[in-house]
């Protein structure tokens, strides 16, 4: 029998930014992330999950 197995990895990093509001801070980090200025890698690994589909 064949099984389809899904592996999910969870990465996390804390970024400190100076901003006038929480919304601005999130937008700054989101922009950096989308422009690939912030790239999570194996050093940011926190957990994994394995499930059958």
Which alpha helices (DSSP H) does 1-53 contain, by range?
A: 22-34
Q: What's residue 8's pLDDT?
A: 98
Q: What's residue 52's pLDDT?
A: 98
Domain ranges of the chain: 5-52
Q: What is the pLDDT along the chain (53 residues), one digit of tens a residue?
A: 999 999 999 999 999 999 999 999 999 999 999 999 999 999 999 999 999 99
Question: Kindly report the CA angle at 15 between 10 and 21, in degrees rounded to 5?
Answer: 120
Distance CA 43, CA 15 (A): 14
The token duo for 26 is 């999130």
């Amino acid at each position: 029998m064949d099984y389809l197995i899904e592996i999910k990895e969870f990465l996390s990093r804390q970024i400190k930014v100076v901003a006038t509001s929480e919304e601005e801070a999130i937008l700054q980090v989101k922009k950096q992330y989308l422009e690939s200025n912030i790239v999570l890698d194996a050093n940011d690994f926190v957990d994994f999950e394995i499930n059958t589909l």
